[in-house]
Every structure is written in C-alpha cells, then in structure tokens.
Structure 1
C-alpha cells in the first residue's frame, strides 16, 4: 500500500491525503514530524535530505515535495481531470500550484507564525502588519482569478490547483485577523466544503 510519512496536522501532508481521497487511492499515514518520529533520523534523511514532511513511498520509489507528490499520484492514476493531459491545460494547473508554493505560502508565513503559532520570534508589530497586508494582497490575486472563472481556480473543473489553494484558503479563513471581503474566495470556500476530502483534511478545524 502507498505510504505517506508525515502528520495529519501538516498543511503539506494534508494536500497529499486529500489528493488520495480524490483518487480513491488507499494510503497509510506513518507519523513523522514534531511530536512523532524525528525527521532528522538517518533513515528519514535518506529519503528526504531536507528533513521535511511529507515523503511518499510507493513500493521502492520515494518522493518528497508535496505538490510534486500530488502531481505524481494523479499522473500515475491517469486522472486527467485533476491533472490534464494536454500541455496547455496542464500548465495552467501547474502554474497555480507553483504560485501557491512560491508566492502565496511565503506571504502568510510571518502572520501565521505570529497569530496562530504564537512564535516569540514573530511578534514585531510592523512586520506583522506588513505580513497580514501581503497575505491579503495575494488572496486578492486569487479573488480576481476566481471571479474570472466563476468556479474553480482554472475553470469550471476541480483540479489539483484547488487542492493546494483550497488548503491555503482555509488557513486564511482560520487565522485570527481582520480580512477584507473577497466574495469570490468566500464562494470558493463553500464550494470546496462540499467535497469529502476537504471536509476531512481541509475544513476540519486545523489551520
């Protein structure tokens, strides 16, 4: 059986677990990370030298980086709705997946660590204000895209872009801060909430 090394509270692990549900793909979660098995252990570092979760084990094949794991699983399953086969359509999905990991995620790091994790190293009021503003600015980009498509990130069809951005959207709504009104994002959040995978690994009370 497919094995995922990580913990169910990790936003990146939850991407993979949600993808498995969308694919009707059984998997086993083996607990690694803070509070569980130590990712700096030699056996884990041999699988991922970054000492980060998740790691996927598919037989003898191992893979790290959550968005890459999601793409691999969809491609391996031949699921051309989650990950289109045609180059242009696939590039559109991957573009928004890459934006999530490269642009959106860094924008919320300071605010999340300050307001949710209570990190003592992230309590500078000016940096927090800038972090919140940057996070809202990036969510406004998503708002514009959703207003254009009227449904999901790349169009009328749910894709892997919605898995990764859906979890980021959930984190935005869960963070204890004032938020601007983004009706497209709000409708998107409700739309995602109809999906069993999002109910289990997204809108489940964990930011």
Structure 2
C-alpha cells in the first residue's frame, strides 16, 4: 500500500494521485499542506514543508517528479519505464521542462485563483499569460508529429504538463491558438483518472 500526503488542489499532488490511478496502485491519500497545515509528524517525513510526500515499503520520498519516476520504474513496466534510455529521455525532458512552464504561468494563477479580484495585478496576469502562451507553443510544436509528449502512446512525460495544461485552459486569460495542444488536452480529458483527479476546481 502506497501512502500519499498532500492536498489534491496542489498541482504536484495531482501528478502523483493521477499516476497512481493510471498504474492501478492501491493507495491512501491524506490531506496535507495549504489550508490543512502540516503536522510535526509530516515535517519529520519532509523537512522541506512541501507536498507531496509518499511512503511505500519503508521508502519515504518527496519531490513530485522524482516520485513519478520511482512509480514508473517500480510499477509501470516497459509501458511507462522503457529500457531504452533514449526513449525514456524523450518523455523525461518534458517532466523537467514543466517547472519552467510553471514559473511562467505562476503569476496568472496566483492572481486569478488565490487573490480577490480587487487585489489582482492585471499587468502581471497579462505578462504571465503571454509567457505561458509562448512556452506552450513549444508543446504545440512537439505534438505536430506525435499524439503524446511521451511519443506514440501516453506516458510519464505527459503527466506533469498534463496537470498544468488543465490550468492553462481553465484560467481566464487570453491564449494563442494551439490546435495540437488543444487536441492533446481533449485526449487527456478522455482518461478517467485525469478527469477525476486533475479536472477539479483550481481553488
């Protein structure tokens, strides 16, 4: 049994909860962080005071993308953790690139989701939306010749950006026309685990 700590309205927790369902891993999740606070016991597990954290068979692990790689290697088989290093790397690069995208989209997210309308910085929202749209063009280009960021089939490389894509298409800001990204997002939405875990209110 895998134990996951973290509130589900966290992008990074969504990644792990979604992937656990894709893999069919029996797990239990405990709300932690944000409005739920952090217990002293949790801070002993993760002294960074961040979510998520998992525990499985005595292994305690934090950092969301490290958790995804562990889950893929242990539970995903060749489907999610191919033996070919080049094939793994194709998906892996999008996992790390996602953090740059998150930085670009952060100001729009914080202003539109976490702040009352009267306190929002409209200039910061516009800059963030423009930066996020420009970066998402790279995803658009990558999806020109493939249905998935991981390659021919859905894989681990689609999970981090898949979470952020939902936010990108949900936030109330202007977006460029990105037909490949939109089609990829629609394919993600057809996955039950994505719809039930990622497509929840942003607040």
Unaligned runs of 5+ residues in structure 1 are: none
Unaligned runs of 5+ residues in structure 2 are: none
Where in structure 2 are the equivalents of 1:1-207 lying within 5 Å? 1-36=1-36, 38-39=37-38, 41-101=39-99, 103-118=100-115, 123-149=120-146, 151-206=147-202
Q: How many residues align?
A: 203
Q: 1:205 to 1:127 in 2, by over 3 A?
A: closer
CA distance in 2, matches of 1:126, 1:108: 13
CA distance in 2, matches of 1:119, 1:153: 35
Aligned Cα root-mean-square deviation (Å): 1.8
Q: CA deviation at 1:163?
A: 1.3
Equivalent residues of 1:81, 1:158 under 8 A apart: no
CA distance in 2, matches of 1:99, 1:204: 24
Equivalent residues of 2:113, 2:202 under 8 A apart: no
Equivalent residues of 2:2, 2:26 under 8 A apart: yes
TM-score (normalised: structure 2): 0.93
SS at match of 1:28: strand
Q: Which is richer in helix?
A: 2
SS at match of 2:200: coil
SS at match of 1:50: coil
Spell out, residue by residue over 1:103-156, the C-alpha distance to the aligned partner (whole angstroms, 9 max, x if none): 111110111101122268x7333333211111111111111111132x001321
After superposing on structure 2, the runs of 4+ consecutive aligned residues of structure 1 that deviate more than 4 Å are none
